[in-house]
């Protein structure tokens, strides 16, 4: 009887397509994001639209420029907060430098490590569009994620770094950006 019940439950799970992990199970963000990977510009636009985000041709050009830019070793100022590049770097370092293992010990080291992550020197980089970035007025819209280290960094189209911390992109908020 137990065997039949187990087999029936397995078949039901397969047919129904489990939509969530069992309670207490670890969700692999890379696997969850892989299932939502997009291959073309049309796929990307459709994925954004499915999340309620309408992108203009200018938005798409910015996204692609940020996807392809080479980090230039500088930190971006934050005009909306009246911060110089140096002050913005200091704010980010104090907020996130301790998140890394080992912790980053200085703002210049934090910036250097973030640029290294963005260039693929800390592992393979995947690129994701933050679907809230235009609405929130962010300076950058594409994050660079290194799955092996959980490095999460972003660069403006001019190559200046805007943030760096440890995170995993949430499939509900981020869409993988292909090259087009």
> What's the pTM value of the predicted model, to 2 decimals?
0.80
Let me know the angle formed at the C-alpha of 163 by 157 and 165, rounded to the nearest 5 degrees: 140
Strand 142-146 to strand 161-166: parallel, antiparallel, or no bridges (unpaired)?
unpaired
Cα 146 from Cα 73, distance rounded (Å): 18
Helix axes 107-118, 85-96, angle to 10 degrees: 90
Q: Say which DSSP state 13 is in.
A: H
pLDDT at position 12, please? 36
Name residue 147's beta-bridge partners.
none
Give the strands of the sheet with 126-130, arranged side by side: 161-166, 151-155, 142-146, 126-130, 174-176
- Terminal-to-terminal C-alpha distance of the chain: 55
pLDDT of res. 52 = 96
| Rounded Cα gap, residues 81 and 118, in angstroms | 24
Per-residue pLDDT of the chain (180 residues; tens, 9 = 90+): 544 444 444 433 333 333 333 344 445 555 555 555 678 999 999 999 999 999 999 999 999 999 999 999 999 999 989 999 999 999 999 999 999 999 999 999 999 999 999 999 999 999 999 999 999 999 999 999 999 999 999 999 999 999 999 999 999 999 999 999
**CB of 44 within 8 A of CB of 51?**
no
């Amino acid at each position: 009887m137990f065997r039949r019940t187990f087999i029936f439950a397995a078949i039901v799970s397969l047919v129904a397509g489990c939509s969530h992990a069992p309670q207490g199970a670890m969700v692999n963000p890379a696997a969850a994001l892989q299932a939502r990977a997009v291959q073309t510009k049309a796929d990307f636009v459709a994925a954004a639209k499915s999340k309620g985000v309408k992108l203009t041709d200018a938005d798409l050009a910015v996204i692609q420029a940020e996807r392809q830019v080479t980090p230039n070793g500088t930190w971006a100022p934050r005009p909306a907060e009246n911060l110089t590049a140096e002050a913005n770097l200091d704010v980010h370092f104090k907020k996130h430098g301790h998140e890394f293992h080992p912790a980053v010990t200085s703002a210049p080291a934090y910036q250097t490590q973030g640029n290294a992550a963005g260039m693929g020197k800390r592992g393979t980089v995947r690129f994701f569009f933050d679907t809230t970035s235009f609405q929130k007025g962010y300076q950058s819209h594409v994050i660079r994620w290194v799955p092996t280290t959980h490095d999460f960094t972003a660069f403006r189209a001019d190559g200046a770094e805007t943030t760096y911390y440890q995170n995993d992109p949430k499939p509900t908020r981020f869409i993988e950006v292909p090259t087009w």
